[in-house]
Amino acid sequence: MQQAYGIGRLVPTGKRAPSMNVSYNISHQLIETKHSNGSFLRQKAVVHSIAPEAGRQIDLGDFDLLIGDQMVRLKHVDNDPEWLVLSSDISAVCD
């Protein structure tokens, strides 16, 4: 399992503001997918946590998590899991 954690900026998708500093914990996990033809392993990005600065709240919706020069597209939803990863490849973040 590859894991990344640290500080990034969270902004609404496609916008530069409003932004907030957040701490994040994201990993790549191997999961087994089964089909009628057999099974195979694939990597799945999992958001363990995204926490805003003290006193701030993150609304529901689509966001870009900016980590250095990398971007992870996310959707904040009102169920479990709380964050869905919309980016097709976040391997650069978890390296």
Percentage of the residues of the chain whose pLDDT score is greater than 70: 91
Cβ distance 65 to 24 under 8 Å?
yes
**Domain of 67, in residue numbers:** 2-85
Asked whether residue 62 is assigned to any structural domain, the reply reads yes
Which SS3 state, helix, strand or coil, does residue 71 take? strand
pLDDT score, position 19: 92
31's tokens: 């999961």
Calpha distance 31→61 (Å, rounded): 26
Domain tally, the chain? 1
Calpha distance 1→88 (Å, rounded): 17
Q: pTM of this prediction?
A: 0.80
Q: What's the mean pLDDT in 54-77?
A: 92
Asked whether residue 77 is assigned to any structural domain, the reply reads yes
Asked whether residue 73 is assigned to any structural domain, the reply reads yes
Asked whether residue 90 is assigned to any structural domain, the reply reads no
Asked whether residue 91 is assigned to any structural domain, the reply reads no
Calpha distance 9→22 (Å, rounded): 6
Asked whether residue 29 is assigned to any structural domain, the reply reads yes
pLDDT score, position 49: 93
